Amino acid sequence: MPAKPLRVLYDRAAQRAELTNNIKHVFQVEKGFDFGCGQKFFSHWFNFGLDLCAYKHPSFAEEREIRRVHISGLALDENQRRMIPVGAIDGSGVRRSGPVPINYRVRNGVQIPYVSLDITDGGRKSPIKEVVLGPKNPDTEENVGLFLTSVGRDNVNIRRSEVPYR
């Protein structure tokens, strides 16, 4: 499965334009293959699905988020359904991660699958530059700072979001 770095797109008009162009592109390419369901067809729609992960509401634009995504396999049979951790291979065919365990957390009563990846280069780099506390977050900047220091994440800017909660 390819891994794909995505810069999150927050502008609604730009999202619509990109989505429209992607659909037109896939249509034109597939038209040349008589709309067969070959490997190129699945590759196009697989990448299309990954691209959808890059769209987010404009009110989150201050996050300037970058995502690295890949899709895990899903095994379905009569007796069980399970996700298969397959790792990630980038568009050039280079393996970016081996299979990693799939973990779950509960949010609003829904099981959310996730994988835990070390993005600290073995603890040498901190990927966290800033923590922005949302408008409904009751925690204080000081508490978050103490927590981050206790887990070895010093020199992180902590501030409250300027986005109002509706």
Among 65, 55, 62, 57, CA closest to 161? 62
Higher pLDDT, 124 or 106: 106
Question: Does the structure show a pLDDT above 50 at 1?
Answer: no
User: Cα separation of 46 and 48, whole Å?
Assistant: 5
pTM of this prediction exceeds 0.95: no
User: Cα separation of 102 and 13, whole Å?
Assistant: 35
Among 148, 82, 156, 87, CA closest to 115? 87
User: Cα separation of 47 and 69, whole Å?
Assistant: 10
Instruction: Let me know the angle formed at the C-alpha of 141 by 147 and 114, rounded to the nearest 5 degrees.
Output: 55
Question: Does the structure show a pLDDT above 90 at 12?
Answer: yes
Query: pLDDT (tens digit, 9 = 90+) per residue, 45-94?
Result: 777 888 888 999 998 888 888 887 767 777 788 888 888 776 766 666 67
Question: Does the structure show a pLDDT above 80 at 32?
Answer: no
DSSP label at residue 49: H
Sheet strands (E) in the chain: 4-7, 66-69, 73-76, 81-84, 88-89, 95-97, 103-107, 110-114, 130-133, 157-160
